[in-house]
């Protein structure tokens, strides 16, 4: 797969990941944490706000793989 196609697919998947993740995290918060204290909400959104980075890092790593152009200087 060419690097440009891989980057296009990865970019689309990251956008889908962020949208789906935000909807799921917000739905869980609205249904399960509705009567919780403010600090529970703060902790939940802090951790869920950071958790999406893990699959995004994997996608970015996958996007950066591919054919590398050889260095003309041999480095």
Q: For the chain, which residues make up each domain, given as ranges?
A: 3-64
List of residues 6+ apart from 25 with CB closer than 8 A? 45, 48
Q: In the structure, what pLDDT confidence band is assigned to residue 68 with cuts at 50, 70 and 90? A: low
Q: What tokens were used for 36?
A: 């919780």
DSSP 8-state class, residue 33 = S
Nearest to 51, CA basis, from 12, 14, 16, 25 = 25
User: How confident is the model at residue 10, as a pLDDT?
Assistant: 93
Residues in the chain: 75
Tens digits of residue pLDDT in 3-34: 889 999 999 999 999 999 999 999 999 999 98
- Please indicate, yes or no, whether the overall pTM of this predicted structure exceeds 0.85: no
pLDDT tens-digit map of 43-63: 999 999 999 999 999 999 999
DSSP letter at 2 equals -
């Amino acid at each position: 797969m060419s690097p440009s196609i891989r980057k296009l697919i990865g970019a689309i998947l990251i956008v889908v990941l962020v949208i789906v993740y935000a909807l799921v995290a917000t739905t869980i918060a609205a249904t399960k944490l509705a009567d919780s204290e403010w600090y529970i909400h703060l902790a939940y959104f802090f951790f869920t706000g950071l958790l999406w980075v893990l699959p995004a890092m994997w996608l970015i790593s996958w996007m950066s793989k591919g054919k590398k152009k050889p260095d003309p200087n041999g480095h």
